[in-house]
Chains A and B, each alone.
Chain A
């Protein structure tokens, strides 16, 4: 019925099932890639062995390729953020993710940001809302793939490339998923995750992508810590800024409100009680809590800026303690409730600062590489003489991890260029089409131009038929637009298809209204569009024969009628019946059109 538009629940069984199926298919593909990698590994080793034999060598090379171990700071970043990406990817496996991420994460993140941020976020959001299965499953594999890539590629170009890939995807998530971490929103605060967790992933990615020689001196660590110090002082200034509600305790305090909202989300009792207790504490001592936050951030920031090892260490330990306290008491571990996508900002931020400190104090130690007797000091010239087991293994593993990223990237890219929403959205809302093979009931009515039109006249063409109220305020214009879009998407085949609507209003049913509706919906110039009407008895007969209920509702409500569409083949037989309730406008734009197009295509082909 128009006006009774329903919305999809995040746990919709069809969507969840399709999501799991898609993941399973992609997992099988990834296993296949894994098998290919294993085969590739064996092929490489076999070729390598044969070459070595040809050159009179009986064993694989064992010499290390690098003269120094991987810098500790880089390893901290690589392994730490590799694990975080994998955790984020696994969080994306939640069943509610396909339908819940836009409304539960992205839109709330952008809600208080300026209009241009919301506009930008919405432009990216439509990819997800139109293709929730593809987007959600793609995100899983991109993030798991990035994590594995960082973990299995410790050195060389492959490793640096993983850092760059991490930056690229991180920027996508930061801008479209986190609305720039809320930095443009009026309530932005370090305590709740500004400037966005993923920005720290990007920082880490940049550091990993640097040449290893950048870690050879304490300079890089000092720069990271100094930049961090400035950042913390800036955050302290923002926290201290009057009029933003952070100095205020009580129920109306900004921080109290945020914490109490977090406490209400679904999570283990001990966590919610901790958070609730902190919320009560902040309500009672809001001013003091904010003063502590501001002073702590300033002091830590200044300590990091000094560059003196002992002072920096003190500041770092204090920062880690503060981050952990905030992570538990304010950020609620970041992923409880709703559809948590990452552990929020405190862990990645602490990791970057720790890596900065390590880069300052633990420099890589040069080790002497033994040179085989008779070998050239510059090293072997051929790859089969250089490539050790670990090198080949890690290279193949990195290729495999990249393949996992591509398994995600490819469908995401296809979703981005596909302007038409996935038909599964309509099926999830309205149910799958009913396949039929029945003679379509006859009708003989008058079109919008005053010409008689009957089903018999349309024989030879496939007919898409629906019932529309010309003075409807909600669903019917949307359904008409989806018919129009289907017509356009048919291209040349549209000449074999007629789109027919029959008036579904017993009062406002004259040609004046059908014509006005056509003008309103820009249908008046479509040559294969017929909006039919007739006398009330004629219309009632057609409604009855197609099972369309039409009822007049009192007190200013619109006419209630069944939202049904039929695909009738060129022989006048009903092939499909589809419920065409368009659902929430933005999410379902063009989804019904995709479904109708597929049924028309099938009918044309048969």
Chain B
């Protein structure tokens, strides 16, 4: 399985705790979720899902219909399919789901008896055998369901995982993923020890398969921002905080080999804000940060590379990045940037020289202002 994913949070929408969106792609599909509309008002902020096929920089609006998504969207994807959850908002306290097997052309409703957590990877979806899905809920627990998505049952709680890895000091369930075998992966935040804790369920019991950060991040508290499985590679993006200093670290693991970690990307707490994260089909990562001056800054990193690379100055209003799959290669050299101005979407592709952004698409989205309140 290969894919990429992107997370975006912007402006007031982020302040309104609608920060968690997720998108997943496989070798055959690319997805990105963006907040659009009047971002200063939660009821007029609509989260839109866009889809592209490999090799194309044309993004098509495929937001699942039938429910207001002012609270945000969360997505889990698998080969040729996607499962999208609508975050609770206003008076809706549970999360309707929608599944698609045709790149978002059509959607089928599915039921989740709880509200999803506002986390980028709160949903994991597997379409192969045995299939099924995992959902992290707003009350901090994980639920799982078999292939038909008809009967959800409790999977695990933070307290249960805390007993498995006492050194971590589990804070919360941060992200979920599914191995090609259908086995669940759950990443948690750790209060101490520089632990990056990822758990998997093996023969009925939870096993920690995480890593420990060293160097300047030894003993740091950690939060897993992203957890994605592409083929045999598991990719994680971790925020670590120690003595008031924060850093982002990318980690990769292939099969059962040990994790490899990037060099820390210093993002001093409170000075830089992570507004978008993306994972490519090949496991590359891109992050979009807001600098202390308010300007957006983007960096990316490919698996096995130690140091983060800055990307060229971004177009004004950039709110997300995407590392779409290409038919030729699954590395991180193809990057799209998305600008949002109200209902207007702009897509910019990084030029082949990697020095400038070229506008490749402009779309006007039919936002239904005033329809949610």
Query: Does the CB pair A557–B96 fall under 8 Å?
Result: no
CB-defined contacts of B73 to chain A, threshold 8 Å: 556
Tier of interface size on chain A? 20 to 34
* In the complex, per-residue mask of A548-565: 1 if CB is within 8 Å of any chain B CB, else 0: 000011111111100000
Q: Of the candidates B70, B92, B109, B113, which one forms a contact with A556 in the assembled complex, judged by CB atoms under 8 Å apart?
A: B70
Q: Which residue of A lies closest to B35 (CB)?
A: A556
Query: Does the CB pair A471–B111 fall under 8 Å?
Result: no
Distance between A531 CB and nearest chain B CB, rounded to angstroms? 15
B355-372 residues with Cβ-Cβ distance < 8 A to A are 365-368, 370-372
Q: Which of A3, A478, A557, A560 has the most CB of B within 10 A?
A: A557
Q: With contacts A471-B96, A473-B89, A508-B67 known, is A557 near B111, CB below 8 A?
A: no
CB-defined contacts of B66 to chain A, threshold 8 Å: 471, 505-508, 552, 558-559
CA distance A251 to B47 in the complex (A): 38
Give the 8 A-B CB pairs with smallest separation, nearest first: A507-B66, A557-B368, A558-B68, A556-B46, A512-B111, A3-B371, A477-B91, A556-B69
* In the complex, per-residue mask of B107-125: 1 if CB is within 8 Å of any chain A CB, else 0: 1010101000000000000
Tier of interface size on chain B? 20 to 34
CA distance A3 to B47 in the complex (A): 16
B90 contacts chain A at the CB level, 8 A cutoff:
yes
CA distance A290 to B303 in the complex (A): 65
A selection of 17 A-B contacts at a CB cut-off of 8 Å is: A3-B370, A3-B372, A5-B373, A471-B67, A471-B92, A471-B96, A473-B68, A473-B71, A473-B92, A474-B68, A474-B91, A506-B66, A507-B109, A512-B111, A516-B94, A554-B368, A557-B68
A485 contacts chain B at the CB level, 8 A cutoff:
no
Determine the main DSSP class of B at the interface with A.
loop
Query: Does the CB pair B371–A510 fall under 8 Å?
Result: no
B interface list, Cβ under 8 A from A: 36, 46-48, 61, 63, 65-71, 73, 86, 89-94, 96, 107, 109, 111, 113, 365-368, 370-373
Q: Which residue of B lies closest to A481 (CB)?
A: B91
Q: Which residue of A lies closest to B73 (CB)?
A: A556
Q: With contacts A474-B90, A516-B111, A560-B371 known, is A555 near B70, CB below 8 A?
A: no
Query: Does the CB pair A3–B366 fall under 8 Å?
Result: no
Q: Which residue of B lies closest to A554 (CB)?
A: B366
* In the complex, per-residue mask of A463-489: 1 if CB is within 8 Å of any chain B CB, else 0: 000000001111001100000000000
Q: Number of contacts between A and B (CB, 8 Å)?
A: 102
A4 contacts chain B at the CB level, 8 A cutoff:
yes
Q: Which residue of A lies closest to B114 (CB)?
A: A516
Query: Does the CB pair B371–A520 fall under 8 Å?
Result: no
Determine the main DSSP class of A at the interface with B.
loop
Distance between B58 CB and nearest chain A CB, rounded to angstroms? 18
CB-defined contacts of A554 to chain B, threshold 8 Å: 61, 63, 65, 366, 368
CA distance A552 to B63 in the complex (A): 12
Query: Does the CB pair B94–A520 fall under 8 Å?
Result: yes
Distance between A484 CB and nearest chain B CB, rounded to angstroms? 14
Q: With contacts A520-B94, A555-B365, A555-B366 known, is A474 near B373, CB below 8 A?
A: yes
Q: Which residue of A lies closest to B88 (CB)?
A: A473
Query: Does the CB pair A473–B70 fall under 8 Å?
Result: yes
CB-defined contacts of B61 to chain A, threshold 8 Å: 554-555
CB-defined contacts of A559 to chain B, threshold 8 Å: 66-67
Could you list 8 further interchain pairs (A-B, Cβ under 8 angstroms) beyond the known A3-B371, A473-B89, A478-B91?
A473-B67, A473-B91, A474-B90, A477-B91, A508-B109, A516-B94, A554-B61, A557-B371
Distance between B110 CB and nearest chain A CB, rounded to angstroms? 9
A513 contacts chain B at the CB level, 8 A cutoff:
yes
Q: Which residue of B lies closest to A506 (CB)?
A: B66
Q: With contacts A556-B68, A557-B46 known, is A472 near B92, CB below 8 A?
A: yes
Distance between B47 CB and nearest chain A CB, rounded to angstroms? 6
CA distance A69 to B339 in the complex (A): 82
CA distance A547 to B109 in the complex (A): 26
Q: Of the candidates A478, A512, A558, which one forms a contact with B371 in the assembled complex, judged by CB atoms under 8 Å apart?
A: A558
CB-defined contacts of B113 to chain A, threshold 8 Å: 512, 516
A1-60 residues with Cβ-Cβ distance < 8 A to B are 1, 3-5
Q: With contacts A474-B372, A507-B109, A510-B109 known, is A556 near B91, CB below 8 A?
A: no
CB-defined contacts of B91 to chain A, threshold 8 Å: 472-474, 477-478
CB-defined contacts of B63 to chain A, threshold 8 Å: 554-556
CB-defined contacts of B48 to chain A, threshold 8 Å: 555-556
Q: Which residue of A lies closest to B113 (CB)?
A: A516
Q: Which of B69, B91, B111, B373 has the most CB of A within 10 A?
A: B91
* In the complex, per-residue mask of A522-562: 1 if CB is within 8 Å of any chain B CB, else 0: 00000000000000000000000000000011111111100
